[in-house]
Structure 1
Amino acid sequence: MSDECVRRQPILERIHGRTVADPYRWLENDGTAECARWLAGQEQLLVRHTPASQTRTRAAFRALLSRSTERAGAVVSAPVVRGRRQFFMRQRIGQEMPVLVAAVEGVGAEAGKILLDPVALDPSGATSLSAWRPSWTGRLLAFQTAAGGAEAPHLRVLDVAKGRVVDGPLALGRPSAVAWLPDDSGFYYVTGSPAEPRRVRLHRIGNDPTRDPVVWETGMRHLSVSLGPEGRWLVVSAAPGAQTGNELRLADLWTTAACGRDPENPELVTVHDGTSQGSSALVKAGPRGLLYAVTDAEAPRGRVCVVDPAVPRSSAWTTVVEPGPDAVLSACTALTDPAGGQVRLLVSTVGNGVPRLALHDVTGRLLTDIPTPGSGPGTISGLSTPPGDADRVWFRYTDFVTPSTVHRFDLAEGRCLPEEGSASGTTAIRRSPLVSRRQEPVVRQFTYPSEDGTPVGLYVIAPPGSHGPRPTLLTAYGGFGASAAPAYSPTIAAWVRAGGIYAVAGVRGGGEQGTTWHAAGSGPNKPHAFADFAAAARRLVDQGLTTPRQLAVKGASHSGLMVAVAITRNPELYAAAVCSDAVTDMVRYPLFGLGAWWAEEFGTPHEPDQLDALLGYSPYHNVRPGIHYPAVLLTSPRIDPRVGAAHMRKFTAALQHATGSGKPVLLRTEDGVGHGPRTATRQVDLQSDVLAFCAEHTGLVL
């Protein structure tokens, strides 16, 4: 594509003896008139290179996306129970954003009261509800809102019964955990921006937040705080970056009070330090005085430990549950058996994509396996247990063909049931309608060898009865230990219903096989993730499911990096690519958004050997003139506080200058959104644009 009016700066930097070119550095500053003109030109280019056939396909995909969303019904979270109230998020068909609802137990979700509606707060849809936490009595609710895609929310406190804000705003700098005191008098929370020290503070309701005392502070970038319903164990976790090991500190507030000290001055003792080994731990307070931990220290697939309150350091923890050799621990919660008052551990694991729930006693003895809602690969998430001696737990279940559904496990009944007309009185929180099995997509699970022979998992979702090569969308995440978990998506459903195949690869760098799998695709091993992705593309072709002329790749955030590397590493494998909100300049990524937090994931350009590794795959630096790149659509918010929108602008300019294929390289930008949530209308707009672009360049005809 011609870029005659796009200036290339002759910037050549010497970094650790390497000469590094950066011709589009001027696009890092979106406040200049030149950058504004360039962005306006990109909007015109997007219109000029959208043919009438793609416009018609876009309209068809809008209809398919709407039907796929309607099929899912109202999306509802598992309830958080406090006192006699249940709090949950709900988004009905036609609602632009989820609303926060409170329902009195025994009344039912449909009779619940809407506490917070982001659209009511801001009809433009630019304000999102980023976090919320009810007090232990359910009388008060701390909630955090952010506007315009920003990730620096303000916290306020709502009187639930009156529906009135009674405290705040508290400026946070970043979204914060909230740990309520048991008497509703205040809470612990975290302040500090990415450029400032992170501090745990104690806020008393009604006090001036600028005078909130600092309980603990650190130079580490991730900081969270929790406190159980009995108000005894204060837990503070600090980590130097995203998905790194953490340092865990514990304070006994009962001892603090007995010594005549205020809760703003607890004695925090380090019980676990995995920052050098990359191991993480979380300590939780259960019923009947139980203290237990979930950790991957010396256990790459996770383990559950019982903690002795008298000797809480990690070296004294007793391991009681470990997943099987092919499974990964995903969650654990404690319940109380109503028959005899014994404490039970409900443990959630995943093996080969299949979720499992099992009940253990506190010594780790397996009592029973609990039948889960699905029969194959799926996802169980959001385990939610009432405080105290609870005998129930709620969770969400989904898979590629089943929309998210809330289920409840009751110890007395010994089984999982969807929350619809249950004896608990919490009627119809969520039950998804099912279409005919003959109409459902076919989900297949493969294992394929990567370029070095490592076996990697692959999901293929195809139309029923499909044969021969078809237009195919391939994606993977492959970073920060996050798994490519099976989940219902209107985007997947729409593409498959249109006749395409959708494939999801569980490449190294994710969490599909625990922390060793993450380590195998992060830091100096990051290229393994890209090799796994390319091998997945070849596997789809070799299996006769698609061809390079019919294959598109798509991804956002770290998944967008996977796409950007894919098209610069192996452009011949793909007909089209959609890259969204991605890191693409691996030399300057620490300067944008939260990039300084990601050294453990990518490596740092400040070290010579790591700079070489980063330059080896940095998409922006690996664009070569004259290469026949596939058709590429890049999408980005105008301002991205997490990644930095400069990455998308610079990569777009480099590809447009270099490509020799004659295929379009286009940039789609949005105002008023950030790295995360959009209104339902904007989400449909974005996904219909993405799917129509992929269909146009892979030959999918609707």
Structure 2
Amino acid sequence: MEKVADVPARRQPADEEIHGRLVPDPFRWLEDDTSAECERWLREQQRLLAEHAAAWRAGPLFRALLGGLTDSGGAVVPVVSSPVLRGRRRFFLRRCAGQDLPVLFTALDGEDAGAEHVVLDPMRLDPSGRTILSAWRLSWSGRLLAFQVDVGGAEEPVLQVLDVTDGQMVGQPLAPGLRSPVAWLADDTGFYYVTGGPTEVRRVRLHRIGDDGAHDPVVFETQMRHLSVSLGPEGRWLTVSAAPGAQTGNILHLADLAQGPAGPRGPAAPEFVRVHDGTADGSSALIKTGPRGLLYGITNAGAPLGRVCLIDPADPRSTAWTTLVETAPGSLLSACTALTDPSSSQVQLLVSTVSNGVPRLCLHDLTGRKLTDITTPGSGPGSISALSTPPGDTDRLWFTYTDFTTPPAVHRLTLPQGQCQPETGHPPAGSTSPSRHERPAVRQITYRSADGTPVSLYLIAPAADHDGPRPALLTAYGGFGASAAPAYSPTITAWVRAGGIYAVAAIRGGGEQGTTWHAAGKGHNKPNAFTDFAAAARYLIDHQLTTPAQLAIKGASHSGLTVAVALTRDPELYAAAVCSDALTDMVRYPRFGLGAWWTKEFGTPDDPAQLDTLLSYSPYHNVRPGTRYPAILLTSPRTDPRVGAAHMRKFAAALQQATTSGKPVLLRTEDGVGHGPRAVSRYTPLQSDALAFCAHHTGLLPASNG
């Protein structure tokens, strides 16, 4: 029998009665990570992990593979960003081979671009790599940079202003509480930002450069959890969006800083008009500005896949918006920006859509008439993101393209030619050289869930033919309306290069098919997401792509919840599971981290009917003693300010006590990181451990890293 970590015998279960139901909670004592008992238990977990990790033969291989592959970048280890243009200068992030974190650079724009200069290097701020540049926003002149850094994964950012011309800090740091949007005034004299911690009133404030932030005036406040603010380069239209949760529908407010009942109004006294309220029907809207006074909106109100609308400043209410572009059936609107064609001096809208995973770009005029399709870099499923245009009249656009076999790279589109070209001015080091390895084979198939719903599944496998089943890794996200977009991942590439199959399922609860797909997997419908995931596993097995003895599942955050539910519902389907940074106690989740922000996604245990749904899948409460669970690796920051590390500790203890399979249940915790991005030197060991663990328990034994 597998040895497990000791559990203090004197601890009594903290069971409680909720709405007439007795809800067991035998490991509540592990919620207190400052107690001596918890510390002792965690030390025992470390010992147990080290004992098993020594036997993972593929560990050195995956460390070597990931060490090279991360130089090409990926969503969580980026190497390059779309440039932001201000005046004659461009600003961009780049991480060269061997660097731990991206560095913010600047250079002259155009053919006469001069030498690049470092604007901000997180490693100079903190050589330990524990300080992450989490957000940055340039003033409209490009002279000032507002940036935010997180230290040690705490997600309590410091907001500072840097004078780009001399590299000196300006004024005193601000403490917004959580990461904040920054909306610069047109004249660089200040910016709007958002303050308030997880349990506090959220407020939009105006900060004047050089002023004491303690006295920054409040221009808007709300009890809603999500609050954002934006202001275009013309400095006229100020928008504030408030929402009770992620992808729950928003209330959109608009203020004209140039007009008001009593004449011109200053930035500190905006008069807001409510232009959209989607909290009843779950619809969202946003307002954007473009060249020559253009005001347009993007919304899914009455259009689950999205539409682009023209706004009349005289009546900006969303009910009065004129639809310009509504996507075709099955085509999801992902972004829109405005360009000016120099040959005609006409403003045009570039609309980005996704259909069955394939991104498309199309130009429309301001009547909505389609002008032309733009040829995009890839020919199949992929992702176009980070659209960037200079302020004012512009004929240029930058974006990032990636797919499962192509590392992220920046491309440029220029009118009137309308041709996309790779951005060659500042290529990411290490990412443009051709690989000596064959590209993996990528297939997109559709399988049926238990209720007959068709679900998309991506299969990434070695290019060489292989008869019979092989070790496979399955993942999915399925929450908060976020899409599992096709994108390059060093982790996926490493697993496939070692000989395995990687499968990504677009289950309900995500955003792949718009708001209706999200609604089909949220709240009381959340179990649909987990049913879809189990159906994906059965598809892989039934079609002899893998077997239960060769199938591993892996996920983090909401994806980790999906994995946790899967291994407790159908443990016989899987040989191994890696679950990271996940909710597992769905009764007490609102008490940890930002959990109270997510009741619109999962439901609240305060409601009896919603409690029933939560308990039906809550992983911690569905651990069954005497069950043969697969090999399980749970990973978590030592302290997780977003989810709460107690979830992983309690789940680990419950599984260790319950399993009878003889396979290990291990917990990997890590200091100095949080729920969000991390340095490459922290990413590589975590992912190599996860892959080596899965390889060990699925029989994947790669010979070398080639």
Band of TM-score, shorter chain: over 0.9
Match status 1:65 vs 2:66: yes
Aligned twin of 2:689: 689
1:130 partnered with 2:134:
yes
Pick from 25, 28, 31: which aligns with 1:25? 28
Mapped contact 2:5–2:44 kept (Cα < 8 A): no
State how 1:32-47 maps to structure 2 within 5 Å.
32-47=35-50
| Counterpart residue type for residue 455 of structure 2 | V
Alignment of 1:192-203 (within 5 A): 192-203=196-207
Change (3 A) 1:538 1:108: farther
Task: Calculate the TM-score normalised by the size of structure 1.
Answer: 0.97
> What residue number does 1:465 align with?
464
Q: What is the RMSD computed on CA atoms of the aligned residues? A: 1.6
Aligned residue for 1:423? Answer: none
Give 3-state SS (helix, strand or coil) of 2:258's partner: helix
Equivalent in the alignment of 2:576? 576
Q: CA deviation at 1:432?
A: 4.1
CA distance in 2, matches of 1:57, 1:438: 19
1:160 is aligned to 164
1:112 Cα offset (Å): 1.7
Indicate conservation of the 8 Å contact 2:459/2:502, yes or no: yes
Q: Distance in 1 between matches of 2:138 and 2:49?
A: 45
Question: Counterpart of 1:77?
Answer: 81
What whole-Å deviation, never above 9, does each CA across 1:401-435 have from its counterpart, x for those lacking one?
Answer: 00001001111221111111xxxxx4547894364
SS of aligned partner of 2:563? helix
83-92 or 194-203, which moves further after superposition? 83-92
Distance in 2 (alpha carbons) for counterparts of 1:301 and 1:72: 30
Aligned length: 695
CA positional deviation for 1:242: 1.6
Q: In 2, are the aligned partners of 1:406 and 1:430 still within 8 Å (CA)? A: no
User: Residue 288 of structure 2 aligns with which residue?
Assistant: 284
Q: CA deviation at 1:244?
A: 1.1
Q: What is the CA–CA distance in structure 1 between the aligned matches of 2:646 and 2:687, rounded to whole Å?
A: 22
2:400 paired with 1:396 = yes
Cα distance in structure 1, aligned partners of 2:426 and 2:417: 17
Deviation at 1:67, TM superposition (A): 2.7
Paired with 1:246 and 1:519, the residues of 2 have a C-alpha distance of 15
Task: Encode CA deviations 1:28-67: one digit per residue, 9 max, x unaligned.
Answer: 0101111111100100111122343x1x311111111123
Contact 1:222–1:240 (Cα < 8 Å) also in 2: yes
1:539 positional shift:
0.4
Instruction: State the SS of the aligned residue for 2:628.
Output: coil
Which deviations, in whole Å up to 9, do the C-alpha atoms of 1:327-361 show, x marking residues without a partner? 10000001111112111000000000000000000
Q: Is the Cα contact below 8 Å between 2:162 and 2:170 reproduced in 1? A: yes
Closer, same or farther: CA 456–290 of 1 in aligned 2, 3 Å: same
Change (3 A) 1:265 1:693: same
Question: After superposition, where does 1:586-665 map in structure 2 within 5 Å?
Answer: 586-665=586-665
1:442 corresponds to? 441
Pair 387,211 (structure 1): closer, same or farther in 2 beyond 3 Å = same
Aligned residue number for residue 499 of structure 1? 499
CA displacement, residues 45-104 of structure 1 (integer Å, 9 cap, x when unaligned): 11122343x1x3111111111232345598110011111121111111111111111112
Matches of 1:440 and 1:141 in 2, distance apart? 40
C-alpha spacing 1:70/1:193, structure 2 compared with 1 (3 Å) = closer
SS at structure 1 position matched to 2:392: coil
Structure 1 pair 389–181 and aligned structure 2 pair: CA distance change class (3 A): same
Q: Which amino acid in structure 1 is aligned with residue 432 of structure 2?
A: P
1: distance between equivalents of 2:434 and 2:186?
46
Q: What secondary structure, in the 3-state scheme, does the structure 1 residue paired with 2:407 have?
A: coil
Kept in 2, the 8 Å contact 1:27–1:646? The answer is: yes
Alignment of 1:238-253 (within 5 A): 238-253=242-257
Does the 8 Å contact 1:418/1:431 carry over to 2? Answer: no
CA contact (8 A) 1:554 1:563 kept: yes
Change (3 A) 1:72 1:118: closer
Q: 1:359 aligns with which of 358, 363, 368?
A: 363
Which deviates further from its counterpart, 514-523 or 432-441?
432-441
Distance of 2:129 and 2:28 partners within structure 1:
32
Give, as a single letter, the amino acid of the residue that structure 2 aligns with 1:439: E
CA distance in 2, matches of 1:278, 1:629: 39
Q: TM-score, normalised by structure 2?
A: 0.96
Q: Which residue of 2 aligns with 1:483?
A: 483
Q: Secondary structure at the match of 2:271?
A: coil
Deviation per CA, 1:130-187, whole angstroms, max 9, x where unpaired?
1100000101110011111011111111110101111230111010111101110001
State how 1:90-239 maps to structure 2 within 5 Å.
Answer: 90-106=94-110, 111-239=115-243
Q: Deviations over 1:436-485 (max 9, x none)?
A: 69711000010000011000000000001232211000000000001110
Equivalent residue in structure 2 for 1:50, among 40, 53, 68: 53
- In the TM superposition, what is the alpha-carbon distance from 1:677 to its structure 2 partner? 1.5
State the alpha-carbon separation in 2 of the partners of residues 485 and 437 from structure 1. Answer: 26
Equivalent pair of 2:71/2:98 in contact (CA under 8 Å): no
Matched, 1:338 2:339: no
Partner amino acid for 1:441?
A: P
Paired residue type of 1:57: A
Secondary structure, counterpart of 2:58 in structure 1: helix
Quick one: structure 1 residues 44 and 164, their matched pair in 2 at CA, closer, same or farther if it must change by over 3 Å?
same
Amino acid corresponding to residue 493 of structure 2 in structure 1 = A
Letter in 2 for 1:177: P
Q: Please give the per-residue CA displacement for 1:501-531, whole angstroms capped at 9, x wherever unaligned.
A: 0000000000010010000011100000000
Residue 416 (str. 1) matches residue 420 (str. 2): yes
Aligned amino acid, residue 44 of structure 1: R
| Equivalent position amino acid for 1:41 in 2 | E
Change (3 A) 1:70 1:108: farther
- How big is the shift at 1:5? 2.9
State the alpha-carbon separation in 1 of the partners of residues 314 and 430 from structure 2: 45
* SS of equivalent residue, structure 2 residue 406: coil
Greater shift after overlay, 40-49 or 622-631?
Answer: 40-49
**1:604-657 residue CA offsets vs partner (Å, 9 max, x unmatched):** 000000000000000000000010000000000000010000000000000000
Q: 8 Å contact 2:258–2:265 — kept in the other structure? A: no
Moved more, 57-66 or 502-511: 57-66
Q: Distance in 1 between matches of 2:3 and 2:99?
A: 42
Question: Does the Cα contact within 8 Å between 1:251 and 1:269 map onto a contact in 2?
Answer: yes
Question: Which amino acid counterpart does residue 543 of structure 1 have in structure 2?
Answer: H
Structure 2 contact 71–429 (Cα < 8 Å) conserved: no
Q: Note the C-alpha offset of 1:116.
A: 1.0
> Residue 105 and residue 359 in structure 1: after superposition, are their counterparts in 2 closer, same or farther (change >3 A)?
same
Alpha-carbon distance in 2 for matches of 1:330, 1:338: 26
Contact 1:451 1:531 survives alignment (8 Å): yes
Mean CA deviation greater in 342-351 or 117-126? 117-126
Aligned to 2:534: 534
Partner SS, residue 524 of structure 2:
helix
Query: Structure 1 residues 184, 619: closer, same or farther in 2, change over 3 A?
Result: same
Q: How far 1:110 sits from its partner (Å)?
A: 8.3
Distance 1:683 1:110, change over 3 A: farther
Percent identity between the two aligned chains: 70
Deviation of the 1:324 alpha carbon:
1.0
Q: Which amino acid aligns with 2:288?
A: K
**1:11 aligned residue:** 14
Deviating more after overlay: 151-160 vs 103-112: 103-112
Letter in 2 for 1:17: G
Measured in 2, the distance between the counterparts of 1:437 and 1:401 equals 13
Take 1:222 and 1:539, find their aligned partners in 2: how far apart are those partners? 38
